[in-house]
Amino acid sequence: MPVSSAAGQRADEPDHPVSHLPLPTSARLWLAFVNTDSAAQASRGDLLRTFDALLSWLHTEGTLDEERTSGIRRRALLQPAAAAAALVDARRVRAALRFLAERGATSERVRDETIVEINRVLGRSAGTRRLDRLSDGTYVRAFVPTGDAFMGLMIPVVEAASDSLAADELGRIRRCADPRCHRVLVDTTKNGRRRWCDMGTCGNRAKAARHRAKDMLRGNVVPSREPHAG
Ligand SMILES: [Zn+2]
């Protein structure tokens, strides 16, 4: 039976003080993509409101280099309808991936539907693949489309989601435990008990709520108690 996190870790290794999985996860890119939607962004709204915003996001995430980004930006000015269609398509992919992040671990139907969506994107693009080294020293796989430049934009994102499925990672991917928060996360802790998207925001709110509840139980709460007269 395959054990997704076992590769590279020796059985005789002592417990590492930093409780993170030894392997990098494929999930970061596609979950970040899901977290650009209006549900996750709440007050800020959809981060991908325009095709240009989509391009900038892909560039910032390292899936498009400077040269290709400006090339596609110029093309978008010449073909605004095609660019608009590419944005609609990106949002469609994003909705499918949110479904996968939230329910993929428990629903085979959701996984099957996402595979259809992933294969729709992978199947329509012709191009070449390349490994690139980024300025920060990390490496990314790049896809350089040979046909319609807009078509290949989603390839790195859906490939990352494919990798998560292939690596049996969905059990570690979930929505933040704060019911008001719609961000999705990958749990890389060893014990698999990460609950919040961010300890600084949602995690802290939960901690503060727990403290308040504890104080209530202990009767330490200082409600407006009448001072004893005399
Ligand atoms: Zn959260």
DSSP 135: T
**pLDDT tens by residue, 67-103:** 889 999 999 999 999 999 999 999 999 999 999 999 9
Query: Once rounded to an integer, what is the mean pLDDT over residues 47-57?
Result: 97
Tokens 């930093």 map to which residue?
A: 18
Give residue 192's region: left, alpha or beta (phi > 0; psi -120 to 50).
left
pLDDT at 6 (0 to 100): 38
pLDDT at 41 (0 to 100): 92
Ligand 1 centre to CA of 22 (Å) is 24
Neighbours of ion ligand 1 (CB under 5 A): 176, 178, 181, 183, 197, 202
pLDDT at 185 (0 to 100): 94
Ligand 1 centre to CA of 37 (Å) is 14
Ligand 1 centre to CA of 161 (Å) is 21
Q: Check pLDDT > 50 for residue 7.
A: no
Ligand 1 centre to CA of 197 (Å) is 4
Sequence-distant (6+) residues with CB within 8 A of 100 are 110, 111, 114, 161, 165, 170
pLDDT at 20 (0 to 100): 55
- Rounded Cα–Cα distance for residues 86 and 121 (Å): 11
- Rounded Cα–Cα distance for residues 154 and 157 (Å): 5
pLDDT at 220 (0 to 100): 65
Check: CB of residue 36 under 8 Å from CB of residue 47: yes
DSSP 188: -
Containing 140, the helix (H) or strand (E) segment is strand 139-145
CA distance to 29, 105, 117, per residue, from 5 (Å): 19, 16, 27
Ligand 1 centre to CA of 78 (Å) is 40
Which pLDDT band, with edges at 50, 70 and 90, does 217 fall under? confident
Query: Once rounded to an integer, what is the mean pLDDT over residues 97-120?
Result: 97
> Beta-carbon neighbour count of residue 219 at 10 Å?
8
Ligand 1 centre to CA of 11 (Å) is 34
Half-sphere exposure of 225 (CA within 13 A, CB side): 7
What backbone phi and psi angles, to 5 degrees, belong to 56? -60, -40
More confident residue, 117 or 64: 117
What backbone phi and psi angles, to 5 degrees, belong to 214? -60, -45
Ligand 1 centre to CA of 131 (Å) is 33
Ligand 1 centre to CA of 115 (Å) is 27
- Rounded Cα–Cα distance for residues 74 and 66 (Å): 12
Ligand 1 centre to CA of 181 (Å) is 5
